[in-house]
Amino acid sequence: MATTKTGKGKYGDRESVMVRVVDHDKLTEVAQKVFALQYGIALEEVPYSVEPLVMVRNAAVINQWDLRGNRDVCVVGTEGVGWECDEYGLVTVPMQTPMGSGAHVKLSGTVVAKFLTDEEVDLADWVRVFGDRLETNFNIWWDMAVNGRAPKWSE
């Protein structure tokens, strides 16, 4: 995968890698149903919606599938905070209220992958530019997409 410098980021040296945007509305519908079932509340009472996310695929395990789903799926928010599939093929999906309080559900990587849009964005543009923490977050997910990393569950 060829990458080019974008000139973005605090230090102006982010490298480009294209990732796919997750359909926020469709994933929210599923996540709210899971949340309602998990906590025994009515669907109408769930105050959370899924944060804007992109899917980064772990290059080390792309297309590694078993009965627990696609295990190469990782989701990343606009601050570069993200989650990878665990040993059960589940990935944390962050949710929030308009007031900012948060929750999460775990969904299979296969389910999350079903809600990808055709829209691609550059990860360098997706992760906000603000300080060392966000630069570190960007670098973690860029490296995951380009070079791959042995999943935590395999170590």
Say what the pTM is: 0.81
Q: What pLDDT digit, counting tens, does each position of 113-124 carry?
A: 999 999 998 888
Domain-located, residue 142: yes
Sheet containing 49-50: order of strands? 49-50, 90-96, 102-108
Residue 10 counted as domain residue: no
127 domain residue, yes or no:
yes
Of 55-69, 76-90, 137-151, where does the model show the most confidence? 76-90
Total domains, the chain: 1
∠ CA 61-122-139, nearest 5°, is 60
Q: Within a domain: residue 11?
A: no
**What range does the domain containing 77 cover?**
18-149
Closest by alpha carbon to 151, among 101, 89, 106?
Answer: 89
- 77 in a structural domain: yes
Residue 103 is assigned to a structural domain of this protein: yes
Quick check: is 137 in a domain? yes
27 has a pLDDT exceeding 60: yes
Residue 154 in any domain: the answer is no
